[in-house]
Amino acid sequence: MHLVTVILGVLLFPKALSALKCYDSKCIEAGTGACTETQRDCPASMQQCGATTVRTSVGGMNVDVKMKSCVPSAGCGLSGSVNFGISRTSTIITCCSTALCNVQYPTPPASTSPNGKRCYTCNDDDCSTMLSCSGDEDRCISTRVELYGGNVMTMKGCISKSLCVSTDAVTHANGIIPGVSTQMSCCEGDL
């Protein structure tokens, strides 16, 4: 019995020591600012370190949300943007697989050029205005959010293929905020 315990200890001890360690931080930067970070041991299900920057631009002002942490491989390499005309949100996630390798936050592009694709966008209840897509926004998006009391908000715009979410994922997300449900669809082609 002791021999089995010793053999298991020898086999499992290196694996216990080999847990990946990543930087971990979450912060919001409007203009300038610094993020405070710690080091974290990753669970066995997350063997990648990730760094994420989500930039939202509204009226010429940029607000960045930056995060570092352990991530599952399925969440790596995601990048893209969604543009509703009044606001544009870009997401970039980079990953690496060595200890404390997620040192740098990814930098969103300073600006992107129009790509020739057009989608509809909404101004209040009028969704007939045309919006020029830019960068890798190669799909059109239509969202409908039903709020408390039956109020409905519709938003349309441009989106990157990588950020289009399946109907199942949107249905799954609907239970997160009580009383709020979301419908989203992406389509290809001009307008």
Q: Is the dihedral of CA 170, 105, 36, 64 positive or negative?
A: negative
**166: which 2 tokens?**
């399946």
Looking at the structure, do residues 128 and 91 belong to the same domain, yes or no?
A: no
pLDDT tens digits, 70-94: 998 777 877 899 999 999 999 999 9
Looking at the structure, do residues 130 and 157 belong to the same domain, yes or no?
A: yes
Distance CA 58, CA 54 (A): 13
Q: Is residue 147 part of a domain?
A: yes
Q: Which amino acid is at 51?
A: A
pLDDT tens digits, 19-76: 899 999 988 776 556 678 899 999 988 889 999 999 999 988 888 899 999 998 777 8
Structural domain containing residue 74: 20-96
Average pLDDT for 148-175? 72
> Tell me, what CATH number does 39's domain have?
2.10.60.10
In the predicted structure, residue 6 carries a pLDDT above the cut 50 = no
Looking at the structure, do residues 62 and 129 belong to the same domain, yes or no?
A: no
Q: Is residue 87 part of a domain?
A: yes
CA-based nearest residue to 46, from 67, 23, 19, 14: 19
Q: Is residue 89 part of a domain?
A: yes
Average pLDDT, the chain: 81
The reported pLDDT for the residue numbered 77 is: 74
State how many domains the chain has.
2
User: Which residues, including other chains, have CB under 8 Å from residue 7's CB and lie 6 or more apart?
Assistant: none
Q: Which of 142-146, 148-152, 174-178 has the lowest mean pLDDT?
A: 174-178
Query: 156 has which bridge partners?
Result: 142
pLDDT tens digits, 82-127: 999 999 999 999 999 999 999 999 988 777 889 999 999 998 889 9
Q: Exposed/middle/buried for 160, CB within 10 Å: 0-12, 13-18, 19+?
A: buried
Looking at the structure, do residues 90 and 120 belong to the same domain, yes or no?
A: no
Looking at the structure, do residues 57 and 91 belong to the same domain, yes or no?
A: yes
In the predicted structure, residue 170 carries a pLDDT above the cut 60 = no
Q: In this structure, what DSSP letter does residue 2 have?
A: H
Q: Is residue 12 part of a domain?
A: no
Looking at the structure, do residues 25 and 91 belong to the same domain, yes or no?
A: yes
Looking at the structure, do residues 127 and 89 belong to the same domain, yes or no?
A: no
**184: which 2 tokens?**
């989203």
Average pLDDT for 138-145? 92
